[in-house]
Structure 1
């Protein structure tokens, strides 16, 4: 098929006239970019690339005031069509949750090992362009703004101390270790400035000097943050890792864009985990007759044809695998516009662990990117484990989903293309995509299928662990209530990963409640919606048309997705 470009894409499409609700959504994007210029960097708007937003309590109050203003405007606006209906429903729900979170003072304890200002202030430099003198001038200015950003963040956490709203001590100590690495003489900021260069020629000496000064000030700011975490926050931080049912219910809704029965979902997670284990055991016997899962894994780990050595080989393999999937699926399964056929596979400049995707800028000047943050000491990689990861992050996973939304600019406003959506929607689709690739024959090799099941088993285990530990549920082994200590043991039993990975993952779940289950729960909801549509439409149901309709919506919460597809 070649219909996307003529019917709903950026090239040759009929532009849908902007409605009052579209203008409200665009107003919110403009407001976000002004309040938090790193949002602009993420979507390719560079006007604020030399600064940060205000991380202080005053900055948060301004954010809440603006969110309230947009809700009022949405409530007064008239819906023109179905596109408007989705925008109004989803944007309002998103902002209402922000107000609920603020009322619960969650911003005062916003510190965890993966997604808090402690990481965001540093990570934004990964996305900044570095080709021209102007690019590096923006970087220099933003480096110079790091101290004020850190001061504002400390002020917010200090207010939390005053009000008795603090993060868990475990999170504080783990983030302290991250901050200390970045502030070291050979840490991120120092290396980033020392490696600054142009594609052609050298940086002006004055700019190079400014970058060095900005890097030193940034490192000093992170050193100050480390001192605050160690001396002020850690002694009064919460000893309990669990956040409790009320807090968890709120963050679960944020990550899913849907309300679920947490107790039913826990029991489903236990059953789903058992199903994944059974499926793994069956595939293990296909790899080596009579083998257990661990024996099949040990057998595969000795196969040199399935091993990559070093990050250069990993990056090359990721890129070749991604490019091949795009080319083949574009010919057979999806209508992939040229603009989103390009995806860059990157080794992240950090060593924190984790694999993630960042979307393209609105004009595709920066393509979608798959990032691999390789932990310290990891030098070998197994292709059978990671093939499904490439499909998850690339095509038909995140890159197809997010890139298609960006491409669909003739129909969707900037909010819908670039900023809307939830983990449950995006990550649920990516897990759905993994199973789709199995159905399409891309995982016919039992080893590759075992790798996919290894990931699916981990995601099912996360549902059980995350809800279990934060709600104090009974352990599935009958050993009493969940504890953080048991969480490490439990995950270690359900993933074939090293101790460093298990530690990072469990610390992530403990500090980011509700996010980890959103992957598998999101997959469950995506599959339910597909099956509901198939039952409703009968013989006229087309899976390809279902995917097109769903992805054309852009990012949305899962409740919005359900109502839109119905």
Structure 2
């Protein structure tokens, strides 16, 4: 071989190595993603995912197989030379590796032995898993009926898992279980299968299905619901009331459970994507509470109120002028805010999603203990239960967070990123997503959405709410706070209603770490924006900055920081979305 040929080969080697690394990485995540979507209940965030609408086996043996599989995937990832990957694939690798680590942690700590919390549960999320809204053809309906028949086995496996959790002291605390059986009883106590939400897909079937065939499917659905689903909920209700609640742990702290300290640190890493200890987080929360309180007092004074801060909070919680008289009034106020936001989006974003969202009430069976609102790409859920606990001065901030420019906008844009791997496009990282939601509330100031001092106080009480979460979550799970301590802290510092505070505190108790993602993600985004504004000066374009964040989809905060550093180094350019999303026209 000549020296020239040898030199050429040496120059080509890195390219071949990069191709091999990229191919190997793609092979790993493609295979794992296909496998993962054949599993049920796999969600590192603790929330339900459809995963093809199947009811899979969730017994201990199947859980061990998942653990073994992800351990192998993590080992395979260790064999990929990350330095040889392209910059884009290095981002993909960081996101994917964190996903696998979190999924593996769920198995290692046996979180599947506690398959519900005060916010969500396998039995109330079952409708989403079955995907009854997506039935189009006769085979679709037949598969749906088949899955209904699998419910007893699925529930029995979940009950066995919960028994194992009870035996080792790994359970939802007894103190937050009061009333959590309502959503089980709403199905278990049905006498007519057609009154079940599981029968709803059969009420109006496609005309492409012959009437005789449709009638047969309806009869089969009634039989499956009446003989399988309703009895399965009945068995679960008996277990929940007679066994789970009496044997549930009497402690509150995550650190009080088996391997609790290690598990709580893992929850912190998963939900914040940062390696922070609980004491540091607690202090950040206290500092933010003090800062926001000063702003709240100033805003209170702008309203002309002459009493103390505590008296002002009482005034806000009890004066009828701040509360809707009907569910429709609350829904319409939310819609009006959303429409005002529509008129301002072009000033803040260069790219907007094509998908639109609906505003709908929270289902009645879960509304009593559900959060005030929750947004997704296609819907913004508004809780219209107990209207005296849903103050109108919070509606603007809530709507900005849950719909646009918050979750509905961010998730829709992420789904339209066709050039990204599915694990990234369909993934959700809480620190990014909830941080963006809270940042969206902040954008309400720039958009002029907070019209009155009361609206602004509502915005500030939502800011305070998220700062309090840092204090309360770490207080409960690390410092040994009681439920009442947490309620008192929230009551003294926010204008949330008593019901909202109780529901939220129960959520933090039963879902350790998740509450930390909001404020820490928000603070990072505010920090990065300030950094970009200072570095770029007159070249800073807020639309390019926001587009750059949203173009990423959902990423760990360290990955976001690296991307904004590159955005600054490149001079703040408009990003290439690589999707068929709409170009906004700024007014």
Question: What is residue 74 of structure 2 aligned with on the other side?
Answer: 71
State which of 80, 96, 109 in structure 2 corresponds to 1:91.
Answer: 96
Equivalent residue number for residue 343 of structure 1: 357
Q: More deviation in 449-458 or 101-110?
A: 101-110
2:174 paired with 1:175: no
2:444–2:450 contact (8 Å) kept in structure 1: yes
Measured in 2, the distance between the counterparts of 1:534 and 1:188 equals 59
User: Structure 1: which 5+ residue stretches go unaligned?
Assistant: 1-17, 361-367, 473-480
Could you say which residue in structure 1 is the equivalent of 2:476? 469
CA contact (8 A) 1:300 1:447 kept: no
Q: Aligned pair in 2 of structure 1 residues 372, 32: CA closer, same or farther (>3 Å)?
A: farther
Q: Deviations over 1:106-154 (max 9, x none)?
A: 3323432123434433554687336766655454333322212211111
1:15 match: none
How far is the alpha carbon of 1:301 from its aligned partner? 6.8
Q: CA deviation at 1:171?
A: 4.4
Partner of 2:218: 208
Q: Which moved more, 1:98-107 or 1:119-128?
A: 119-128
Q: How does 1:372-521 map to 2 (within 5 A)?
A: 372-375=382-385, 377-378=386-387, 381-410=390-419, 412-419=420-427, 421-472=428-479, 482-521=481-520
Provide the residue aligned with 1:240 in structure 2.
Answer: 251
Task: Say which of 349, 360, 374 aligns to 1:334.
Answer: 349
What is the aligned counterpart of 1:321 among 333, 337, 340? 337
Query: Is the contact between residue 193 and residue 222 of structure 2 (CA under 8 Å) also seen in structure 1?
Result: no
Bigger Rg, structure 1 or 2: 2
Residues 28, 471 of structure 1: CA spacing in aligned structure 2 closer, same or farther, 3 A cutoff? same
Aligned-partner Cα distance in 2 for 1:37–1:248: 21
**Maintained 8 Å contact 2:414/2:552:** yes
Q: Is the 8 A contact 2:74 2:97 kept in 1?
A: yes
Match of 1:353 in 2: 370
Instruction: Tell me the residue number matched to 1:262.
Output: 278
Shift, 1:355, TM fit? 4.3
Q: Say which SS state the counterpart of residue 312 (structure 1) adopts.
A: helix
Paired with 1:520 and 1:460, the residues of 2 have a C-alpha distance of 6
- Does residue 120 of structure 2 align to residue 115 of structure 1? yes
Match 2:232 to one of 206, 217, 221: 221
Shift in CA distance, 116/250, structure 1 to aligned 2, threshold 3 Å: farther
TM-score (norm 1): 0.82
Q: State whether structure 2 residue 25 is matched by structure 1 residue 21.
A: yes
Could you tell me how far 1:381 is from its partner in structure 2?
5.0
Greater displacement, 534-543 / 428-437 = 534-543
- Provide structure 2 residue ranges, at least 5 long, that are not aligned to the other structure: 1-21, 256-260, 566-587
1:435 CA displacement: 0.7
Give me the whole-angstrom Cα distance separating, in 2, the residues matched to 1:260 and 1:47.
Answer: 32
Match of 1:52 in 2: 55
Contact 1:52 1:146 in 2 (8 A): yes
Counterparts of 2:320 and 2:241, CA distance in 1:
45
**1:371 paired to 2:381:** yes
Change beyond 3 A, Cα 1:440–1:291:
farther
Give the direction of change, closer, same or farther, for the CA distance of 1:281–1:126 in structure 2 (3 Å limit): farther
The residue matched to 1:339 in structure 2 has which SS?
coil
Which SS does the other structure have where 1:230 is aligned? helix
CA distance in 2, matches of 1:34, 1:326: 38
Structure 1 residues 390 and 220, CA, compared in 2 at 3 Å: closer, same or farther? same
Paired with 1:563 and 1:100, the residues of 2 have a C-alpha distance of 26
Once the two structures are overlaid, the 10-residue window that deviates more, 148-157 or 423-432, is 148-157
SS in 2 for 1:309: coil
Alpha carbons of structure 1 residues 205 and 316: separation in structure 2 relative to 1, 3 Å: farther
1:37-73 CA-partner distances (Å, limit 9, x unpaired) = 888xxx9x98933x31222112212322332333233
Q: Could you list the per-position Cα deviations for residues 195-248 of structure 1 after superposition, in whole angstroms to 9, with x for gaps in the alignment?
A: 542277789222222333333322321221222233333343221111124322
Q: 2: CA distance between counterparts of 1:139 and 1:280?
A: 51
Cα distance, 1:314 vs. partner? 3.1
Note the C-alpha offset of 1:177: 4.2
